Amino acid sequence: MIDRLVEKALVEREHSVADRRVVGCRLTGKGQQEGERFSHVRSAHVQEFTGLLSRDELEVVVNALDVLLLAINRQAANGDAQAPELTNGSN
């Protein structure tokens, strides 16, 4: 996968001076431009889909995202490497 990104000049490999076994990757200017373009396209799609929801439905989505953010923050605070256990609320 990285090889293809390098071939397309979207990323470049950086070899560590301190440890020859370590090879990092960073976005090139072209890679940054493509990332920004992708972000704009994604935002346009989100706006399109949210435009189909009622105000009440949007409120449900926002509340659900708040709950997910709380779970992510809780996981980060606990230093837990595993994803939080999700339930359907019937437990």
Question: Alpha helix (H) ranges present in the chain?
Answer: 2-7, 29-50, 55-78
Q: Is 86 within a domain?
A: no
Q: Give me the CATH number covering residue 38.
A: 1.10.10.10
Q: How many domains does the chain have?
A: 1
Cβ–Cβ < 8 Å for 11, 31: yes
Strand 11-15 to 23-27 pairing: antiparallel
User: Would the pTM count as exceeding 0.75?
Assistant: no
pLDDT at 90: 44
pLDDT at 79: 79
Residue 51, both tokens: 């435009």
Backbone angles phi, psi at 68, to 5 degrees: -60, -40
When pLDDT is averaged across residues 39-49 and rounded to a whole number, the result is 94
Domain span holding position 56: 2-78
Q: Is 41 within a domain?
A: yes
pLDDT at 81: 53
